[in-house]
């Protein structure tokens, strides 16, 4: 199939999705004409494939479907005369005028989860086809560890500095669950160059929150990781992921943590419900909601609600963290094979195949 694909390729979330989708489409034998968004950053071993896809864009099939992978308020630009298919990854459950205008301007939509499809339907976008195409994990990079990590009980969180990610609440949980004398560690991978450049005060506020914690000696803050291989190794050297977001479009970091065999404490809501299960993850429930607003990334008043992370969720998370800690101390913390098996169902090859089926059947 010929596909006109407009997407960023870099080390950020959309960029990682763009890279893996493009590579998987090409590997499956499809002809992809790639039209980059923003500055490109990719591993050297992918450069030949990307260069060939860009050359295809010099003389594309203008009747082929045009897939634009980008934010829900930036879907206007497409290539050619073919179907206009928007692929946004969003965290909101209500769309303001700009978002709705861009979404309604598509012929079809691709979303990453049934939750996202339901959000679209609730916002009266059901007149167009909406296809669920879950994202994936590269198990050649995020392969399972062969034995539990030897060392302190290590929790890991991956996600940029953001109120939505429940990092403040995560710190509260860590402080409540443990003491500085406990053999425990928290790794926070949260580099955000955009926030550092646009709002350094907010960036530093988050840093000071963690460095000023009574548990600061047990916390490692990681600003930037150069490669996916390094991320994978950090995950394999941890015991348990902490993914407590009030709302997520999907959450690649969580899926990758599952793929390497970690236990993961997860807020059971929004996009991750596409792939998490009670058998593969340690779930935290939340039925209460609060208005979407953080004064930084989400400033509009009409973006709906996300899940609240209150005292009940904090207590549940503390109990689960202590459960993992005790199991490790008692040498009873094993590799989470159910998480590995579940993650293996969500590969980038599967993503590409479902995308092609959606383009063929829409």
CATH number at residue 246: 3.40.50.2000
pLDDT level of residue 23 (50, 70, 90 thresholds): very high
CA angle 24, 28, 31 (to 5 degrees): 90
Q: Is 330 helix (H, G, I), strand (E, B) or coil?
A: coil
Residue 187: give the domain boundaries.
153-343
pTM of the model: 0.97
Same domain, 320 and 352: no
DSSP strands (E only) in 183-321: 184-189, 219-222, 240-243, 263-267, 282-284, 289-291, 305-307
Kindly tell me the sign of the dihedral angle through the C-alpha atoms of 119, 243, 239, 158: positive
DSSP 345: T
The answer as to whether 12 is a domain residue is yes
If we measure between CA atoms, which residue out of 124, 137, 161 comes closest to residue 250? 137
Q: Is 351 helix (H, G, I), strand (E, B) or coil?
A: helix
Range with the lowest mean pLDDT among 19-33, 53-67, 264-278, 284-298?
284-298
Same domain, 106 and 240: no
pLDDT at 301: 67
Residue with tokens 């159910």: 338
Residue 109 in this model has a pLDDT that exceeds 80 = yes
Mean pLDDT of 156-184: 97
Domain count, the chain: 2
Q: Is 155 helix (H, G, I), strand (E, B) or coil?
A: strand
Same domain, 351 and 336: no
pLDDT at 224: 83
pLDDT at 314: 98
As given in the structure block, the two tokens for residue 159 are 């996600």
Q: Is 156 helix (H, G, I), strand (E, B) or coil?
A: strand
The answer as to whether 230 is a domain residue is yes
pLDDT at 238: 97
As given in the structure block, the two tokens for residue 101 are 């205008």
Same domain, 123 and 159: no
Residue 313 in this model has a pLDDT that exceeds 80 = yes
Mean pLDDT of 45-51: 98
The answer as to whether 218 is a domain residue is yes
Same domain, 176 and 240: yes
Q: Determine which helix (DSSP H) or strand (DSSP E) holds 329, and give its type and residue range.
A: helix 311-329
The answer as to whether 144 is a domain residue is no
Same domain, 167 and 255: yes
- List pLDDT tens digits, range 201-258: 999 999 999 999 999 999 999 998 889 999 999 999 999 999 999 999 999 999 999 9
The answer as to whether 203 is a domain residue is yes
CA dist 1 and 318 (Å) reads 50
Other beta carbons less than 10 A from residue 121's beta carbon: 11
The answer as to whether 74 is a domain residue is yes
Mean pLDDT of 320-339: 96
170 vs 301 pLDDT, higher one: 170
pLDDT level of residue 8 (50, 70, 90 thresholds): very high
Same domain, 237 and 169: yes
Query: For residues 26 and 49, is the Cβ–Cβ distance under 8 A?
Result: yes
Same domain, 175 and 270: yes
- List pLDDT tens digits, range 140-162: 999 999 988 889 999 999 999 99
Same domain, 326 and 250: yes
The answer as to whether 196 is a domain residue is yes
Same domain, 339 and 353: no
Same domain, 227 and 213: yes
Same domain, 112 and 192: no
CA dist 165 and 55 (Å) reads 39
Q: Are strands 84-87 and 66-69 parallel, antiparallel or unpaired?
A: parallel
The answer as to whether 80 is a domain residue is yes
Residue with tokens 């406990």: 182
Q: Determine which helix (DSSP H) or strand (DSSP E) holds 26, and give its type and residue range.
A: helix 13-27
Residue 184, class by beta-carbon neighbours within 10 Å (0-12 exposed, 13-18 middle, 19+ buried)?
Answer: buried
Q: Are strands 305-307 and 289-291 parallel, antiparallel or unpaired?
A: antiparallel
């Amino acid at each position: 199939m010929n596909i006109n694909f407009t997407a960023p390729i870099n080390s950020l979330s959309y960029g990682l999705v763009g890279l893996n989708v493009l590579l998987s489409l090409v590997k499956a034998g499809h002809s992809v004409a790639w039209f980059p968004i923003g500055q490109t950053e990719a591993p050297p071993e992918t450069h030949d494939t990307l260069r060939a896809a860009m050359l295809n864009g010099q003389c594309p099939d203008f009747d082929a479907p045009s897939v634009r992978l980008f934010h829900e308020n930036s879907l206007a630009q497409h290539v050619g005369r073919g179907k206009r298919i928007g692929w946004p990854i969003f965290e909101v459950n209500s769309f303001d005028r700009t978002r709705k205008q861009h979404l309604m301007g598509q012929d079809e939509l691709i979303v990453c989860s049934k939750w996202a499809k339901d959000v679209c339907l609730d916002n009266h976008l059901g007149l167009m086809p909406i296809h669920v195409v879950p994202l994936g994990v590269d198990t050649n990079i995020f392969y399972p560890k062969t034995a539990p990590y030897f060392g302190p009980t290590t929790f890991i969180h991956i996600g940029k500095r953001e109120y939505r990610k429940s990092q403040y609440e995560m710190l509260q949980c860590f402080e409540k669950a443990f003491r500085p004398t406990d053999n425990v560690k928290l790794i926070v991978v949260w580099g955000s160059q955009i926030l550092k450049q646009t709002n350094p005060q907010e960036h530093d506020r988050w840093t000071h929150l963690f460095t000023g914690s009574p548990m600061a000696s047990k916390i490692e803050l990681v600003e930037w990781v150069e490669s996916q291989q390094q991320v994978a190794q950090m995950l394999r050297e941890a015991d348990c992921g902490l993914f407590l977001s009030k709302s997520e479009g999907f959450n690649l970091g969580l899926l990758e943590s599952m793929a390497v065999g970690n236990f993961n404490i997860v807020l059971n809501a929004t996009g991750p419900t596409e792939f998490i299960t009670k058998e593969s993850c340690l779930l935290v429930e939340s039925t209460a909601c609060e208005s979407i607003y953080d004064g930084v990334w989400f400033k509009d008043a009409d973006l709906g609600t996300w899940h609240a992370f209150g005292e009940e969720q904090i207590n549940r998370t503390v109990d689960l963290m202590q459960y993992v800690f005790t199991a490790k101390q008692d040498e009873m913390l094993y590799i989470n094979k159910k998480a590995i098996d579940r993650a293996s169902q969500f590969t980038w090859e599967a993503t590409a195949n479902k995308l092609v089926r959606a383009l063929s059947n829409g």
